[in-house]
Amino acid sequence: MRDHSDLQSMNERSLAQQAAVRKATFSPSERKTLRPFSIWEISQFMFQVPADTLRKKLVDDPSLPQGAVEEDGRQRWFSLAEINELRRRLRFRGRSLLPKRPSGRAVRVAVSNFKGGVGKTVVAHHLANAAALDGYRVLVVDFDPQATLTHSMGLIEVKEWNTVWGIMCRDLCREADRIVASYDDPSDCPYPSSDELPDDVQSIGAQRVQDFIQKTAWATIDIIPSCANAAFVEFASAQYRALHKAWSFFGCMSRYLDELPDDQYDIIIFDCPPAIGYQSLNAAFAADILYVPSGPGYWEYDSTTSYLGQLGDALDDISTGFSSIAEDAGIHLPKQFDDIRLLMTRFEASNPLHIAMLDAFQNVFGSDVCKNAIEMTRAVEQSGRFQQSVYEQDYRQMTRETWKRARQSFDAAYGEFKETVLRAWEQREVKHVG
Ligand SMILES: Nc1ncnc2c1ncn2[C@@H]1O[C@H](COP(=O)(O)OP(=O)(O)OP(=O)(O)O)[C@@H](O)[C@H]1O
Ligand SMILES: [Mg+2]
């Protein structure tokens, strides 16, 4: 017979060898870098102008970034920083290249579904890349201890206190002290203050808001990463809730993001784990928009249906069971989203079953279904060690048609995503001003 001690000793053996295994299989010294982008891509997919028009602008003004010409090549290649400088300085027929940015804080989008493997991480990664190439400043938050997005973004060594778990601990310390301070006589407070909480929680309480944010290979995409050790966040959160019964555990992430300066980011994207728990509830509570990817199989439809029901029930339970705690913390219940969108992924237009499933989704959910499904593409499957996005892959490494088709599919999905984000942003701006 075997019990928990076997699992613990297996874990210890594995941890002792982890560095060696990683070295042999993962080459951690390799750093992820972002490739440059060719004038063909920039003119066709980003600025939407003829390549010759862009070339002429560059010749006319030598003070503009000029990119670099590869040996034996003729194309010019530009870094993302150079592309962003061109965006700021160029206009075409009076049209600015800067993306629309209403005032107020960044819009927050949770990519979420408790069905595993539907493409949440691929969608979150590609939307973040597409938004950055469109000129937006993006923060991604990895809520999933599988940490696929974190690894895809090139981060390998992440400590658990730098993850969403750390943000929840810090929030508990701050909320505990706020609640004590709200009593005329603090000694009347039946709940603990931060210095009565466990040491590991207290030690995170002093972290500053920016300490949780890390850089990626993309100058305009930052990340709050995850790591496998953060898996115990579900378990730990249940313990902390028992320690402090007045803690609005579902509002940690929302409070944290409210502390960021409004202008630091434009779009914040959450990659959620395939589960409904403390982390995904925090993601839902912090989100303005829910983006629910689903694959084209019947079981995915089935699972997406139960996800919608279970998330609905969980939010309903919070509204009824936690109303006074939420009110005290300044959280308005019920939680309201600006929008909820369903997005079909891994779609094959030549597969009759996929077409039937997309039809079924549209019949059932109507205009809540995104018009542009994301196609199944080899470009995603063969994306290499860092799980490069289609945007990160150099199109010369595959047939240009394969790459272009894949890119156009993600671009179309991004176009719709951007419309959804801008609609939510503008509505909020009107409310703010009104
Ligand atoms: N459009 C696509 N074309 C081809 N392969 C895809 C596509 N989208 C996702 N995949 C593949 O499907 C698998 C699952 O994708 P992904 O990791 O994004 O799913 P997920 O929903 O985040 O999974 P989890 O629930 O485990 O977090 C991956 O191997 C990915 O490469
Ligand atoms: Mg994932």
3-state secondary structure 136-200: CCEEEEECCCCCHHHHHCCCCCCCHHHCHHHHHHHHHHHHHHHHHHCCCCHHHCCCCCHHHCCHH
> Helix crossing, 278-286 with 252-259: angle to 10°?
40
Of 45, 39, 44, 84, nearest to 58 by C-alpha is 39
Kindly report the CATH number that applies to the domain delimited by 107-433.
3.40.50.300
- At 383 the pLDDT is 67
- At 22 the pLDDT is 66
pTM given for the model: 0.93
Nearest-angstrom CA–CA distance, 65 and 275: 46
> Percent of the chain scored above 90 by pLDDT?
76
87 contacts 219 by C-beta, under 8 angstroms: no
324 burial level (CB within 10 Å; 0-12, 13-18, 19+): exposed
Q: What is the mean pLDDT of the chain?
A: 92
Q: 291-300: per-residue pLDDT in tens?
A: 999 999 999 9
Say if residue 11's pLDDT is above 80.
no
User: Any residues with Cβ below 6 Å from ligand 1, and which?
Assistant: 116-122, 144, 146, 148, 274, 345-346, 374, 376-377, 380-381
Nearest-angstrom CA–CA distance, 202 and 184: 24
The rounded Å distance from CA 147 to ligand 2 centre is 8
Instruction: List CB contacts of 88: < 8 A, sequence separation 6 or more.
Output: 97, 98
368 contacts 340 by C-beta, under 8 angstroms: yes
Nearest-angstrom CA–CA distance, 118 and 144: 14
- At 44 the pLDDT is 94
Instruction: List CB contacts of 394: < 8 A, sequence separation 6 or more.
Output: 35
- At 387 the pLDDT is 79
Say if residue 23's pLDDT is above 70.
no
Residue having the nearest C-alpha atom to atom 9 of ligand 1: 119
- At 26 the pLDDT is 57
Residue 293 Cα: closest atom of ligand 1: 21
Residue having the nearest C-alpha atom to atom 13 of ligand 1: 117
Nearest-angstrom CA–CA distance, 289 and 291: 6
The rounded Å distance from CA 285 to ligand 2 centre is 19
The rounded Å distance from CA 22 to ligand 1 centre is 23
Q: 104-115: per-residue pLDDT in tens?
A: 999 999 999 988
Instruction: List CB contacts of 224: < 8 A, sequence separation 6 or more.
Output: 139, 140, 141, 142, 162, 163, 164, 167, 212, 213, 214
Q: Report CA Rg, the chain.
A: 23
Residue having the nearest C-alpha atom to atom 18 of ligand 1: 119
Alpha carbon 17 to its chain's center: 31
Query: Helix H segments across 267-385?
Result: 278-286, 298-321, 323-328, 352-365, 378-381
pLDDT tier at 85, thresholds 50, 70, 90:
very high
Of 109, 130, 70, nearest to 396 by C-alpha is 70
Q: 51-69: per-residue pLDDT in tens?
A: 999 999 999 999 999 999 9
337 burial level (CB within 10 Å; 0-12, 13-18, 19+): middle
pLDDT tier at 430, thresholds 50, 70, 90:
confident
The tokens 């028009």 sit on which residue? 53
The rounded Å distance from CA 307 to ligand 2 centre is 15
Q: 273-284: per-residue pLDDT in tens?
A: 998 889 889 999
Say if residue 386's pLDDT is above 70.
no
Of 354, 392, 353, nearest to 373 by C-alpha is 354
pLDDT tier at 17, thresholds 50, 70, 90:
confident
Residue having the nearest C-alpha atom to atom 16 of ligand 1: 119
Q: What is the mean pLDDT of residues 188-203?
A: 94
- At 4 the pLDDT is 80
Residue 268 pairs in a beta bridge with 108, 139
The rounded Å distance from CA 117 to ligand 2 centre is 7
